[in-house]
Amino acid sequence: MNGDAWVNVPDTKTEAEKLEVETSARQCGKTGLHNPFKNILRYKMLGDVFQRAAALMHDKRVFNYFTRLI
């Protein structure tokens, strides 16, 4: 929103560069960090975070702060 770059895309001009990017992409897992079945503890931790955030919304200062952000 401020004009800064927020995503990096490889500038592939040669076949060797394209192959390098493709090889690297194939090494990445298709599922993992954001898969709730493979990373149960992460989702439990995030549930605790959201529960705490909801509880803090009962504080008038916190509530006003977030309504101002929105």
pLDDT in tens, 45-59: 999 999 999 999 999
| Tokens (6 digits) for 37 | 């079945």
For the chain, what is the mean pLDDT?
87
Give the pLDDT of residue 61: 95
Asked if the model's pLDDT at residue 68 lies above 90, the reply is yes
**How far apart are the C-alpha atoms of 18 and 26, rounded to whole Å?**
12
Domain count, the chain: 1
For residue 33, the 8-state DSSP code is T
Average pLDDT on 19-44 reads: 83
**2 domain residue, yes or no:** no
**21 domain residue, yes or no:** no
- Maximum Cα–Cα distance for the chain, whole Å? 59
The residue with tokens 């770059």 is 5
Give yes or no for a contact between 63 and 55, defined as CB atoms under 8 angstroms apart: no
Decide: helix, strand or coil at residue 9. Answer: coil
**25 domain residue, yes or no:** no
* Structural domain containing residue 44: 32-70
Asked if the model's pLDDT at residue 10 lies above 80, the reply is no
